A = this chain, B = another copy of it.
Amino acid sequence: MNDIRPIRATSGTNHEGTSAHNRRVIIDALRLNGALSRADLARATRLTKQTVSNIMEELENDGLVISRETVRRGRGQPSTPYGLVPEGAFAIGLQIDRHITRAIAVDLVGNVLIRKEANLPAGGPATGTPVVLQLVESVRSELKQRTAQAEKRLVGLGVAMPGPFGIEQDTDDNPWMMGPWQRFPLLETLAAGTGLNVTLQNDAAACATAERMVGAAHGLDHAVCLYVGYGIGAGLILGGELYSGARGNAGEIGMALLTAGGRLTQLEHRASLASLYEHLGVDPMAPDIYSLIDKRSAADDPEIVAWIEKAAIDLRWAVHLIETVFDPQTVILCGGAPAALATRLIDAMQPLLPSNADRTDRPLPRLQLGMTDPWAVARGAAVEPIGHAFDPRFSAILKS
């Protein structure tokens, strides 16, 4: 009699959804264009002057925007531009990597305020969680000291770590694979340990988040970040939002199979930093490995040059694949590779393979260099809660 089939539906919306969206739209416009007057905002967002005025007053009271010097732009009353207040919101980002963890505090506009790191003991989450929690706490208390308002303006904790998530067993016996962390209920543990909203993304997604808010993908709706780190991944900005797939594993392009030397292998076995370390015979755990690689790259070390030549072939294929499959406005190379290595890699990848993206009327280059420093992932993690709280999103309109 009682058929309790679940009814599936999209959520409806109401006045608050409308209002929330319009606030987000205005904040987004200020982030994208810098300071704008109320009249400018009204034109850009297609809202009425009056609506914009009301929202701006609210945002000003909330400490999210502030007026600047009036400017005269020809006839008519001078306009009063409003800009985002950096101290209007804060977020903390946490990167969990194989043997190290990094935490960053950022403000509303994405400035990095604090950065701290700690070594992760072997032993996975059991021994690692206390270290991680302490690191976050340390950043949080320093932030509190700096800015009185910071604590109540803290919108969340973003976490980034290598994917893929939720796989049932490691495909690899490498002790530095992240399996134990990936199977651990990290979100719940960190939420309980900090009392903050916690979100999780993989390294490549974190880089894409950072590039979109403060980097080369700023203002782009379709961009893919080719992340070259210990593994390889793609961070996907599709239709203006980060896309992470049904289970958070979209973009794990490093696991894509290619035929090389007559056998099927994974992209990241051939072109990642892991493969470079192996090629060089260095220990991936060495603490100064980043600067070591950077220096040797800058000096055009022959072993590194040889690896670059080889890796460039596979990365060129990866760019072709990304262009073919996603049709983005641009591809951004980013991630944990030292800058000197990354620039050389990009050079070695030229010319790119012919593809649909190869057209003369492009406003943007097919491949460009994004953030490449060891803090890029942590920064992306930090910036995610800011975007989540303040950027226009479909789901932000719907009723909870």
Q: Roughly how many angstroms separate A36 CA and B7 CA in the complex, as a whole number?
A: 9
Answer whether residue A286 sits at the interface, using C-beta atoms and an 8 A cutoff.
Answer: no
> Which of chain B's residues has its CB closest to A19's CB?
B13
Chain B residue contacts of A324, Cβ below 8 A: 252-253, 255-256
> Which of chain B's residues has its CB closest to A72's CB?
B1
* Given the contacts A7-B43, A243-B238, A360-B168, A18 and B29 also touching, CB distance less than 8 Å: no
Q: Would you call the interface of chain A mostly helix, strand, loop, or mixed?
A: loop
Minimal beta-carbon separation of A45 from chain B (angstroms): 4
Chain B residue contacts of A354, Cβ below 8 A: 171
Q: Which of A87-95, A277-285, A326-334, A335-343 contacts B (4 or more CB under 8 A)?
A: A326-334
Checking B11, B45, B249, B399 against A356 with a beta-carbon cut-off of 8 angstroms, the contacting residue is B249
Chain B residue contacts of A294, Cβ below 8 A: none
Taking a contact as CB atoms under 8 Å apart, the answer to whether B219 and A246 are in contact is: no
Given contacts A10-B25, A46-B399, A258-B258, 19 further A-B contacts (CB under 8 A): A2-B73, A7-B36, A8-B29, A9-B29, A9-B32, A10-B240, A12-B46, A14-B18, A14-B47, A17-B18, A46-B398, A221-B246, A238-B238, A239-B243, A246-B328, A248-B327, A250-B327, A255-B356, A256-B320
A and B contact pairs by CB, cutoff 8 A, 22 listed: A2-B74, A8-B29, A8-B32, A8-B33, A8-B44, A9-B25, A10-B28, A12-B22, A12-B51, A13-B18, A46-B398, A164-B356, A222-B245, A234-B325, A238-B238, A247-B356, A250-B325, A252-B325, A252-B356, A256-B325, A262-B262, A394-B394
